[in-house]
Amino acid sequence: MKINVDRERCVGAGQCVLAAAGVFDQSREDGLVELLSAEPPQELHAAVTEAELICPSGAIEIQP
């Protein structure tokens, strides 16, 4: 699994952080998504998939 985030699409809702805090964070400067791990371990894949699904702006993209 490889993750891409589009900070220009991000609206700073923080749902990704709630779903997968070990993979996503929010910037202190602008509140937008920060990717902490572009290739997270297997045990976080379900949480990352949930984050992609609940992101209100569609800023998260998962590639196999």
List, in order of start, the domains of the chain with CATH numbers: 2-63 (3.30.70.20)
On the question of pLDDT at 64 being above 90, the answer is no
Strands 2-5 and 24-26, bridge-based pairing: unpaired
- Taking only the tens place, the pLDDT of each residue in 30-49 is 999 999 999 999 999 999 99
Note the Cα 4 to chain centre separation in Å. Answer: 8
Above pLDDT 90, what percent of the chain?
98
pLDDT of residue 20: 98
Q: pLDDT band for position 58 (50/70/90)? A: very high
